[in-house]
Amino acid sequence: MSKDIATPVRTQEILKKFGFSFKKSLGQNFLIDTNILKRIVDHANLTEKSGAIEIGPGIGALTEQLARNSEKVVAFEIDQRLLPILKETLAPYSNTTIIHEDVLKANVKEVIEEQFKGLEDIMVVANLPYYVTTPIIMKLLEEKLPIRGIVCMLQKEVADRIAAKPGGKDYGSLSIAVQYYTEAETVMVVPKTVFMPQPNVDSAVIRLTVRQEPVVKVRSEDFFFQVTRASFAQRRKTILNNLTSQLPDGKAKKDMILQALEKAEIEPARRGETLSIAEFAQLSDALLDHFA
């Protein structure tokens, strides 16, 4: 077996050989601890019949571990300078494919159909660039891809928000959006010291298991998410004040909003962070007739 990529010495050697310098704008922080990478892969529960999708493979440290533990790996890399490096570092692994594309612009469904023929178990496993974590996760979930779930490294603060339960300061529209589609849990916290260069923030690994059906049934998904976003627009405001100021013509329709709150059995003086996903579902369904 070839030498692990994810050691400080080997990473330095590779970067030096190719004259690679980190681009802050791409949020490049490479993992240099093989044990952490192995634990991330363990949390994805891959088998030799699994397909793995990676986003931002860097120099291939996680890709290598995925290649050893799955049938096939497809990685999206936006930085052209990394392509020759990946070609060399992943040469021992014939089951890896690198796609030079921004995952946010890619047709991921099409890639899955082309690259993972005959594979029924597909996981996204990635050390996500921190500046685009949320848009990437939401794209993967909103497109309802045929994946079992996502295991990804991200900023600890964002992981806390995604996995948060009602009532706390971390709970918000992001928690609801992700938990609507998945079961979310933080599976490990990762120190800054295992990255090169070291980020300014702590990191965590989160596991999102895609639900067969969304956690609640709503009449309109778009409107449900609009209502949840509106409810958290200003966290210190009551749900009534937020909805009145954020929904279209909300001020003129204040009485209708009050009626909908009453119908959903929600006190107008409550704050958004106290409402469960089920309560938001009832509320958005009650409001829909007035705002559709």
Report the binding-site residues for S-adenosyl-L-methionine: 29, 31, 56, 77, 102, 127
Ordered alpha helix ranges (H), the chain: 8-18, 34-43, 61-69, 83-89, 108-115, 133-142, 156-163, 173-181, 221-231, 239-246, 254-263, 277-291
Spatial separation of the C-alpha atoms in residues 10 and 28, rounded to whole Å: 17
Say how many C-beta atoms besides its own lie within 10 A of residue 250's C-beta.
Answer: 19
Residues flagged as binding site: 29, 31, 56, 77, 102, 127
Amino acid symbol at 105: K
Query: How distant, in Å, are the alpha carbons of 31, 131, 158, 236 from that of 128?
Result: 11, 9, 12, 31
Angle ∠(165,138,176) on CA atoms, nearest 5? 20
For 100-123, b/e burial (b = at least 16 CB within 10 A) is eeebeeeebeebbeebbeebebbb
